Amino acid sequence: MAERLSFDIMPIADQLARLPEVDLKTGEMIAPYTSYQIGGPAAIWASPRSETGIGQVLAITHKAGIPLFILGRGSNLLVSDKGWPGIMLYLGDNISGWRFAGNEAAVLAGTPLIDLIRAAVDQGLGGMELMAGIPGGIGGALRMNAGAFGQEIQQTTIEIKGFRLDGTSFRARREEINFGYRHVPDLDPVVITSGRFRFKKAAAGMLKSRMDDILALRDVTSLGILRELHRWGAHAMVITVMLHMLRVFLTGSYKPPREFNWGVGVVLLVLTFLLSFTGYLLPWDQLAIWAITVGTNMARATPFVGSEGPGSALFMIGDVPLITAGSDVRFALLGGKSVGAAALMRFYVLHCVAIPLVAAVLMGVHFWRIRKDGGISGPL
Ligand SMILES: Cc1cc2nc3c(=O)[nH]c(=O)nc-3n(C[C@H](O)[C@H](O)[C@H](O)COP(=O)(O)OP(=O)(O)OC[C@H]3O[C@@H](n4cnc5c(N)ncnc54)[C@H](O)[C@@H]3O)c2cc1C
């Protein structure tokens, strides 16, 4: 069911319809404009064909106090089935395109990021090629400082143009904007209409192979049922080991003479979690990379050995801290400061060789101790 409107739609729609540079619809479904193909009707859907048109729409809607939503390429949005009870300002195809001058490009907000990157790479211009797999448009990418594999859009940005919500123009150079990690609060009240970017000259062939590698990575061929079997088997293993531990606890089987075997079991439980964690990265897809990013970010807060953990400041030589982002437990896990090739190699070796070897030895000890301690434990 559509949401109740806080404004009288007809006079506003009439006013907007008179703008020559704006395509206008009422009740347009949003679903076709989002990657997830969801979203109910927008009370008003406006797609300006020029930057001037955007400013004109904003001036009208701001004056009338109509709720505004800026829709880019819709790759990062979950829109309610109830739709949007205001104006959906669509900056897509109508506001796309670019112009190169030397190693710089002026780019309209609706331009798909991948189109710009391909055009730049063709001309031997690098700086964004590792971001090739990020879906969405330039406006959305600037709005959240999109990035991947060590490249961020702010690194190539020279200037951003747009409008404030009241329709007055906005223009800021990169140095004037605080770019955070996937968040740019300074751009919160701004409708971005275009950006200017500076690329670095490089061999087009090299850039293209970097870009193709990244695109192939995002499109890793699934191993189908075998990988699924492995994945579900791994989940089942974690659940089974936890249930086993619960049973052992409830039956008091950690008490003498079984306390040694309880200790071995606890180590095996930790190894099971580590197997699960290291295995998560190996599909090398978006889920894997982000899950391990989050997981290893938590390692930063480990007491004493994490750079942000309690007690890490105790390890100093003079004024020089020993536990830093370049030497802490997160760094050791990843083999670097972010999830990259070194992390993949480390997790592969841990998952396939190191942890299974240690676990196999400990399982041998565990089963041997069960027999030595008098067989399967019952309630004590
Ligand atoms: C499978 C998948 C993988 C992804 N991988 C990455 C990744 O590796 N790295 C990464 O950084 N991001 C990633 N993203 C996030 C996303 O693709 C980016 O944030 C993208 O740049 C959003 O652009 P868009 O045009 O689709 O914006 P939309 O989804 O349309 O909008 C996103 C937000 O930006 C605002 N917005 C859009 N255009 C403008 C504009 N012109 N002016 C002001 N505000 C605007 C919208 O109001 C909304 O709040 C991923 C998303 C998906 C679904």
Q: Dump pLDDT digits (tens) for 175-194.
A: 999 999 999 999 988 999 99
Instruction: Give the pLDDT confidence score for residue 219 in this predicted structure.
Output: 67
Establish if 113 belongs to a structural domain. Answer: yes
Establish if 378 belongs to a structural domain. Answer: no
- The model's pLDDT over 76-98, given as tens digits with 9 standing for 90+, comes to 999 999 999 999 999 999 999 99
Residues 192 and 262 in one domain: no
Determine the Cα–Cα distance for residues 133 and 145; give it in Å rounded to an integer: 15
Distance 128 CA to ligand 1 centre (A): 16
Protein residue whose Cα sits closest to atom 40 of ligand 1: 139
Residue 117 CB: number of other CB atoms within 10 A?
25
Residues 63 and 100 in one domain: no
Residues 282 and 168 in one domain: no
The region of weakest confidence among 283-292, 313-322, 338-347 is: 283-292
53 lines ligand 1 (CB under 6 A): no
Determine the angle formed by the axes of helices 204-218 and 113-122, rounding to 10 degrees. Answer: 150
Joined together, the tokens standing for residue 102 give 């030397």
Residues 235 and 130 in one domain: no
71 lines ligand 1 (CB under 6 A): yes
Q: Which domain holds residue 38?
A: 9-94
Residues 325 and 305 in one domain: yes
Looking at 94, 121, 149, the residue that finishes a domain is 94
Looking at 160, 187, 218, the residue that finishes a domain is 218
Q: Which residue has the tokens 């030895």?
A: 361
For the segment 276-280, the average pLDDT, to the nearest whole number, is 92
Establish if 377 belongs to a structural domain. Answer: no
pTM value > 0.85: no
pLDDT category, 363, cuts 50, 70, 90?
very high
Residues 102 and 80 in one domain: no
CATH number at residue 43: 3.30.43.10
Q: Which atom of ligand 1 is nearest to the CA of 162?
A: 42
Distance 182 CA to ligand 1 centre (A): 10
Determine the Cα–Cα distance for residues 107 and 153; give it in Å rounded to an integer: 13
Question: How many domains are there within the chain?
Answer: 3
Determine the Cα–Cα distance for residues 96 and 107; give it in Å rounded to an integer: 8
Residues 14 and 90 in one domain: yes
Establish if 154 belongs to a structural domain. Answer: yes
Residues 291 and 358 in one domain: yes
The percent of residues in the chain predicted with pLDDT above 70, rounded, is 97
- The model's pLDDT over 295-310, given as tens digits with 9 standing for 90+, comes to 999 999 999 999 999 9
By most ligand atoms within 8 Å of CB, the mutation choice from 37, 51, 76 for ligand 1 is 76
Joined together, the tokens standing for residue 259 give 């306390």
- The model's pLDDT over 104-139, given as tens digits with 9 standing for 90+, comes to 999 999 999 999 999 999 999 999 999 999 999 999
Residues 368 and 233 in one domain: yes
285 lines ligand 1 (CB under 6 A): no
Q: Are 71 and 33 in contact (CB under 8 A)?
A: yes
Establish if 347 belongs to a structural domain. Answer: yes
Establish if 292 belongs to a structural domain. Answer: yes
Q: Are 83 and 40 in contact (CB under 8 A)?
A: yes
Distance 142 CA to ligand 1 centre (A): 9
- Counting DSSP H helices and E strands in the chain, the numbers are 12, 15
Determine the Cα–Cα distance for residues 275 and 39; give it in Å rounded to an integer: 39
Residues 280 and 365 in one domain: yes
CATH number at residue 250: 1.20.810.10
DSSP structure string for 77-145: ----TT-EEEEEEE-SGGG--EEEETTEEEEETTSBHHHHHHHHHHTTEESSGGGTT--SBHHHHHHTT
Distance 76 CA to ligand 1 centre (A): 5
Determine the Cα–Cα distance for residues 70 and 348; give it in Å rounded to an integer: 42
Determine the Cα–Cα distance for residues 65 and 256; give it in Å rounded to an integer: 73
Looking at 41, 71, 94, the residue that finishes a domain is 94
Establish if 39 belongs to a structural domain. Answer: yes
Establish if 259 belongs to a structural domain. Answer: yes
Distance 77 CA to ligand 1 centre (A): 8
Instruction: Give the pLDDT confidence score for residue 156 in this predicted structure.
Output: 98
